[in-house]
Structure 1
Amino acid sequence: MTSNLIKRTKTEFIVLPAFHGDCILIKTYDINHNEFTILIDGGTAQTFRYSLKEELKNISRINLLILTHIDSDHIAGLINFFKSSLIDNINIDEIWMNNPDLVEVNNGELISVKQGDNFKKLILEKKSETKLSQISISDRLLNRSGIEFTILSPTSAIVNELYERWESLRLLQNNKSNISSVKSAYTLSLEESNKISFSPDKSINEDIFNSSSISFLLKCPDISLLLLADSRPEIIVQSLRDFGVNEKDPLIVDYVKVSHHGSLNNTSQELLGLIKSNNYLISTNGGTADHKHPSRETISRIVYNSNRNDEVLNIFFNYTLNSLRERIGDFINEIDLEHGNWNATSQNRF
C-alpha cells in the first residue's frame, strides 16, 4: 500500500536530530484525508545514517521533497539518501530546489567542487519522473491537494544573483565566520539582551546561500507552520508586509521553525513583532567549532517578543539542553526561566 492511500486525520511532524543542520519530516493529509508526506532538507551527511534512514524505512511515497538551499547541513543527508538503496523503494512526486549545479559534500561539511556527483544528476538518474520546481516569492501561493504554501523567500533577484555568482561562490564556501552569541550578552538578563539592536554582520548579498533559502508558511488542514530554513529576516519581514501582515495584525501560526538554528543574524525583533505564536522550534546540536548556535540574543528576542500574549511560550530544542550547554555554554539558565512565562523543552516529535 502506498503512503498516499493511508487515511490520516492529524498532522504529525518530527524535527530530526540533524546535528548542526535541518531535517524535518511532516506527515499531513490532503482534502480527501490521504496522507501527504513532506521532507524538508536532509541535514548533514551523518543525518541520513543515524536518523533519517530509519524514519524513511516505512515510507513508500514522498509527495514533496524540499531542499531549502545548498549548505552542507541541509543537502548532505539528501545526497546520501539518493545514493542509498532506500531511494529505489520510495516514489517522489515533486522536488523544490533552487540550484543550477549541486555537487557532493565532502566529509559532510563543505560543498566540494573536486567531488564528482551532481545532485541534480542523481535525481535524474534515480527519479527521472519526478517533477523539479524552482521556487521564489514570485510563486506566492501554491496549493498541493488542499495543502497551502505561502512562499516568503527567496526573492527572484536573490535567485538570479545566486545563479550568476555560482562559480565564484563555490570558492567562498571555505570562508569561516563565527555566528555565536556576543559574549557580553551571556552576562545580561534575557530581557536586557533583547534590547541589543539587531545588527547582522553580513549584508543579504554577502550571505547569499542563506538568503536563497526557500521559506514558507505551511497551512495543513489542522495546523500551520512557519518554516524559515536559514532565511534572512529582512526578506521575510518584507514578504509578510507585502501580504498585509503588520504589528497590529500579525501572522498567527501554530509553530515557528526558527531560522538558521537560532543564529544571531537570522532573527530580528522586527520579524518577531509580525508573528504571534506560542511554539518555536530550534534545530541544532549546538553547532560546530566555528559556527555555534543558538544565540542567547535570539532566545531573548523570542521570549520578549512585542507580540507575546499572556499564554505560556514554548521553545522546543531537538537536542537536550545539557548537550547544548556542553557546546556553547550557559546560553539559558534557571533564572531566565523564572521570568517571561516560558518553557525550554527538549522535544522533536509533534
Structure 2
Amino acid sequence: MIKLKFLPARFGDCIWIEYGDGEDRNRILIDGGTAGTRHDIKEMIESLPEEDRYFELMVVTHIDKDHIAGILGLLEENDLGFKVRDFWYNGFKHLTEVEEVVDENDEDFGAKQGEHLTQAILKHEISWNGDFNNKAVVVDSDILPKITLPGGMQLTLLSPTPVLLKDLKPKWVKEVTKANMVPGGPPIVEEEEEEDETFGEAIPDINALAQTSFHEDHSEANGSSIAFLATFNAKSILFCGDAFPSQLVKTLNIIEPDRKIDIDLMKVSHHASSHNTSPELLEKIKCSNYIISTNGSTFKHPKADTISRIIKTSGAGTQLLFNYKSSTNEIWGLNSLKNAHNYDAIYPETGIDGIEIVL
C-alpha cells in the first residue's frame, strides 16, 4: 500500500506519504508548502500516537518559499515532537562542495550557518543527507544513486547534478546578501512570476495548445531541485519537484534507454508551469495519472499548454488530479472537454483537505 496526501499547500508542494503492509506504516514528507502549511503538517503529526511520530525521510527539494517555508516553521520550534531518520536538503555548504574552483570567500561562507533551516537541522541534530554520507544529494555520473528506505521503498535519484547546484550559488549569495543575511543556509527565494494566461469564458483549444513551442525553465533554484523515482510493491511514482525536464529525460534514459518507463503517478513539475513538462518528458513515460499541486494563486498555475500536452500525449483514460479546485483549473472539469478528449479531472471535495491517493 502507498497512500499519498497532497496537502493544501497554497501555491506550493507538501506531500505526506505512507507506505507499508497492514498496520506497519512508514512515512516520508516531501516539502512543506508555504508558511501556513506548517499548521496542517503539525496537525497530522499530532494525530498520530506519540510513539509513531517518526519519518523515514524528510525532503526539501529546493529553496523556493512554496517548498521550504512550512518545514522551516516546523523545525524552528523548540520541541519538534517527532523524529526523522534522514533529512535530504542541499544547503549552501553543498553548493560549495561541488565547486570546481573554490572562491576565496568560501571559507567565510562555510563558517557561518546564517540561514534558518540549516540552523534548525543542526540545532535538533537531525541526520542531514546521511544517505549520501552527509554530502550533496546529487547525480554525479551515469550510475544513479539508489536508496532503499526502511520498509522497502526504493528511491532512484534523478536530479540535480553538481553543475545545476553550482549554477545556483551566485543567486544564493546575491539573495542572502541583499536580505542582510550571511550565506551558509537557504534564503527564502521568491520565484519570478510568469505571465498570466487567462481565458475568461473561452474554452482552451487542447489540440492547438499541445502543439505550441516548448521553452525550458532557466531558474537556478528550480534546476537545483531534488527529484526521484519512487518504487514500492510494483508501483512507481515520479516526484519531479520543480526540476528541469531535460535533466529528468536524461536520467530516465539511463534507467530505460530504449523504451518508455511505466509510471503509476507523476507529480507534475513546478505546478504545471509552461516550462517544466516538455513533450520529450511526456513521451518518455507511460502514465495515466498526473497530480498538480497548487491553488492557482500568485503564478496562475496550472498553465493550459502543459495540461493540453499531458492530455494529448497520455491519451484516453488520462486522469488529472488536483489538490485544490480553483479558478485556474476548474475549466478542465468541463464535461465538453472531458468527453471530447476522453480524460477525467478529479478535485478534492473541499478547499481545505487537499487530495488523497492510494496506490
* TM > 0.5 fold call: yes
Is 1:94 the counterpart of 2:92? The answer is no
Is 1:266 the counterpart of 2:257? The answer is no
Find the counterpart in structure 2 of residue 107 from structure 1: none
SS of 1:339's equivalent in the other structure is helix
Counterpart of 1:251 (choices 258, 261, 273) is: 261
Shift of 1:275: 0.9
Find the counterpart in structure 1 of residue 209 from structure 2: 193
Structure 1 distance, partners of 2:248, 2:127, is: 33
Counterpart of 2:63 (choices 63, 70, 79) is: 70
Partner letter of residue 237 of structure 1? Answer: V
Structure 1 distance, partners of 2:24, 2:190, is: 44
Contact (CA 8 Å) 1:296, 1:331: kept in 2 or not?
Answer: no
Shift of 1:229: 0.7
Q: Give the superposed CA RMSD.
A: 2.8
**Counterparts in 2 of 1:99-138, with a 5 A limit?**
99-100=91-92, 118-128=116-126, 131=130, 132=134, 134-138=136-140
Q: TM-score, normalised by structure 2?
A: 0.78
**Counterparts in 2 of 1:190-339, with a 5 A limit?**
190-200=206-216, 202-203=217-218, 207-246=219-258, 249-288=259-298, 291-305=299-313, 308=315, 310=316, 312-320=317-325, 324-325=326-327, 330=331, 333-339=334-340
Partner letter of residue 82 of structure 2? Answer: I
Is 1:55 the counterpart of 2:44? The answer is yes
Shift of 1:97: 0.6
Percent identity (aligned): 30
Structure 1 distance, partners of 2:206, 2:24, is: 44
Counterpart of 1:41 (choices 24, 27, 31) is: 31
Higher relative contact order (CA 8 A, sep 6+): 2
Q: Which of 53-62 and 175-184 deviates more? A: 175-184
Structure 2 distance, partners of 1:168, 1:123, is: 23
Shift of 1:335: 2.3
Is 1:166 the counterpart of 2:166? The answer is no
Structure 2 distance, partners of 1:40, 1:93, is: 14
CA-to-aligned-CA distance 1:85-132 (integer Å, 9 cap, x gap): 561x21111011112179xxxxxxxxxxxxx75211111112345645
Structure 2 distance, partners of 1:338, 1:178, is: 30
Contact (CA 8 Å) 1:67, 1:97: kept in 2 or not?
Answer: yes
Taking a change above 3 Å as real, the CA distance of residues 133 and 28 of structure 1, as seen in their structure-2 partners, is farther
Contact (CA 8 Å) 2:160, 2:227: kept in 1 or not?
Answer: yes
Structure 2 distance, partners of 1:120, 1:217, is: 26
Aligned residue pairs total: 310
Q: Which of 137-146 and 334-343 deviates more? A: 137-146
Counterpart of 1:349 (choices 345, 348, 356) is: 356
Shift of 1:180: 3.9
Shift of 1:213: 0.5
Q: TM-score, normalised by structure 1?
A: 0.80
Taking a change above 3 Å as real, the CA distance of residues 190 and 97 of structure 1, as seen in their structure-2 partners, is same
Shift of 1:278: 1.1
SS of 1:271's equivalent in the other structure is helix
Find the counterpart in structure 2 of residue 22 from structure 1: 13
Partner letter of residue 349 of structure 1? Answer: E
Counterpart of 2:197 (choices 181, 191, 195) is: 181
Structure 1 distance, partners of 2:293, 2:79, is: 25
